[in-house]
């Protein structure tokens, strides 16, 4: 009887030890798997143990792929420039001028358009038709870097330009109108507003999200024919099949014209395909933002080619770009020093033009 009890007690102890060892083994295996990357153990790959196990190894990371432009846009969203709140302007001697400038940028035509309250010097567009949300939207052609970078040298004029000069350029080109005198109250108000928007940006700094997104060049020429299909599908519902926009009765536009007599003229920045394509990428069709782009890069280039192939007012540009090598690759009017045609400068492909200009600049610098 004593011998039987000893055997039972021995089996019980052996079972306890076995259970404990199994538990310890499971815990050890858990820590090996959990800390594999941290402590440098080789990958746990069952398919290497049993060749008949097929399919991807769930413990290995997926192969890395280069992010597309939409993914990069989403990655930037936490660090873009945020404009100050117009409703938070402190009361001061300049606050009323700043608020008036905001009104002029938002509703330019009501003050300066064909039926303007103050004067009639523009085509009925508002500044914020090109500078969205009164110049505050990320990659909406905003004013985030204006105060921090002006005065500055600009190749287009071949001179140092001030903010008043830049505003007048827009009045003459994008609004196809007339420049204002330096001492004009409306001009001072718009400048005051633009400077206030950039008050927190350090001098010479260009914050993320400023201006217009730069869409990568295509390896082919942009196609007006393909762009026409994009326009009809994505743009015509607001801007009209004829591109003339939707006019209101007060001389303004509910939706701005993209071509025709009341649109921007041939000297405007948006007449360059790169500017128009970048503007469209993060802002069009209506409702799109940089966080939710809808059109592919190719569609943006093609619709820009279509829109900028339509008739619009012209401007004398003979005084522009005194340094021919300072012309942008997509400036569509000669003369040029790079040997490419006006057609290629307008529609691309722009890569070869860019490379040639870079080569000529380097040669000239020697």
- Residues 230, 284 within the same domain: yes
What would the two tokens of residue 217 be? 């060049």
Could you tell me the pTM of the whole model? 0.78
- Does the pLDDT at position 3 exceed 80? no
Identify whether residues 292 and 262 lie together within a single domain.
yes
- CA dihedral over 88, 126, 245, 309, signed as positive or negative: negative
pLDDT value at position 28? 54
Over range 68-89, report the average pLDDT.
72
Quote helix, strand, coil % in the chain, to nearest 5.
Answer: 45, 5, 50
Domain check: are 102 and 193 in the same one?
yes
Amino acid 33: pLDDT: 43
Last residue of a domain, one of 144, 164, 197: 197
- For the chain, give the mean pLDDT: 86
308 pLDDT more than 70: yes
Q: Is residue 265 part of a domain?
A: yes
Q: How far apart are CA 310 and CA 339, in angstroms?
A: 26
Of 167, 197, 227, at which residue does a domain stop? 197
- Rounded to an integer, the average pLDDT of 325-330 is 98
Task: Give the CA count within 13 Å in the CB-facing half-sphere of 351.
Answer: 8
With bands split at pLDDT 50, 70 and 90, how would you rate the model's confidence at 69?
A: low
pLDDT of 80 > 90? The answer is yes
Instruction: Determine the pLDDT at residue 93.
Output: 80
192: CATH: 1.10.760.10
> Can you give the pLDDT at residue 23?
52
pLDDT (tens digit per residue) in 115-127: 999 999 999 999 9
User: Among candidates 302, 306, 265, 254, which has minimal Cα distance to 281?
Assistant: 302
Task: Report yes or no on 59 lying in a domain.
Answer: no
Q: Is residue 143 domain-resident?
A: yes
Q: Residue 78: its pLDDT value, please?
A: 56
Q: Are residues 237 and 341 in the same domain?
A: yes
| Shared-domain flag, residues 192 and 241 | no
pLDDT score at 22 = 57
Domain identity same for 269 and 183: no
Instruction: Name beta bridge partners: 253.
Output: 247
- For residue 203, is it within any domain? no
In a domain, residue 263? The reply is yes
- Residue 362 is assigned to a structural domain of this protein: no
Tell me, yes or no, whether 311 and 227 share the same domain: yes
List pLDDT tens digits, range 157-188. Answer: 999 999 999 999 999 999 999 999 999 999 99
Same structural domain, 343 and 228: yes
Determine, yes or no, domain membership for 259: yes
Q: Are residues 103 and 179 in the same domain?
A: yes
Number of domains within the chain = 3
Give the H/E segment covering residue 302. helix 297-307
Residues 171, 91 share a domain: yes
Least confident of 42-56, 132-146, 330-344: 42-56
Higher pLDDT, 64 or 264: 264
Q: What is the mean pLDDT of residues 71-82?
A: 65
Q: Does residue 258 share a domain with residue 192?
A: no
Residue 169 lies in a domain: yes
Query: b/e per residue, 50-68, with b = 16+ CB within 10 A?
Result: eeeeeeeeeeeeeeeeeee
| Structural domain span for residue 307 | 219-351
Q: Categorize the per-residue pLDDT at 13 as very low, low, confident or very high, splitting at 50, 70 and 90.
A: low
pLDDT above 50 (res 255): yes
The model's pLDDT over 20-63, given as tens digits with 9 standing for 90+, comes to: 555 555 455 554 444 444 444 443 343 333 333 333 333 233 33
Single residue among 165, 197, 229 that ends a domain in this structure: 197
Q: 230 with 334, same domain?
A: yes
- pLDDT over 90 percentage in the chain: 75
Q: What is the dihedral of CA 326, 328, 331, 335, to 10 degrees?
A: 30
């Amino acid at each position: 009887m004593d011998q039987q009890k000893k055997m039972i007690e021995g089996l019980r102890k052996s079972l306890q030890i076995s259970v404990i060892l199994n538990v310890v083994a499971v815990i050890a295996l858990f820590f090996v798997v959990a800390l594999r990357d941290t402590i440098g153990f080789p990958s746990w790959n069952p398919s290497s143990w049993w060749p008949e196990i097929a399919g991807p190894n769930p413990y290995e990371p997926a192969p890395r792929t280069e992010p597309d432009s939409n993914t990069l846009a989403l990655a930037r969203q936490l660090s873009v420039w945020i404009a100050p709140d117009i409703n938070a302007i402190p009361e001061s001697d300049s606050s009323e001028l700043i608020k008036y400038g905001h009104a002029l940028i938002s509703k330019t035509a009501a003050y300066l358009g064909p039926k303007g309250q103050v004067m009639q010097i523009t085509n009925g567009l508002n500044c914020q038709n090109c500078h969205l949300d009164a110049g505050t939207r990320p990659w909406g052609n905003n004013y985030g870097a204006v105060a921090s970078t002006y005065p500055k040298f600009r190749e287009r004029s071949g001179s140092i330009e001030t903010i008043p000069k830049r505003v007048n350029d827009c009045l003459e080109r994008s609004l196809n109108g007339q420049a204002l005198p330096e001492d004009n109250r409306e001009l001072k108000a718009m400048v005051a507003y633009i400077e206030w928007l950039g008050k927190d940006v350090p001098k010479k700094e260009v914050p993320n999200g400023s201006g217009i997104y730069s869409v990568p060049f295509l390896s082919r020429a942009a196609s007006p024919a393909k762009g026409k299909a994009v326009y009809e599908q994505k743009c015509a519902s607001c801007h009209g099949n004829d591109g003339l926009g939707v006019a209101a009765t007060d001389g303004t536009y509910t939706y701005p014209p993209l071509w025709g007599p009341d649109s921007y003229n041939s000297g405007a920045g948006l007449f360059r395909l790169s500017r128009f394509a970048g503007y469209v990428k993060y802002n069009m069709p209506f409702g799109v933002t940089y966080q939710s782009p809808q059109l592919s890069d190719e569609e943006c280039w093609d619709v820009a080619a279509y829109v900028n192939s339509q008739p619009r007012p012209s401007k004398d540009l003979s005084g522009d770009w005194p340094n021919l090598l300072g012309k942008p690759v997509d400036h569509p009017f000669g003369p040029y020093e790079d040997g490419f045609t006006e057609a290629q400068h307008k529609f691309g492909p722009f890569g070869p033009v860019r490379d040639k200009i870079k080569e000529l600049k380097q040669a000239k610098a020697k």
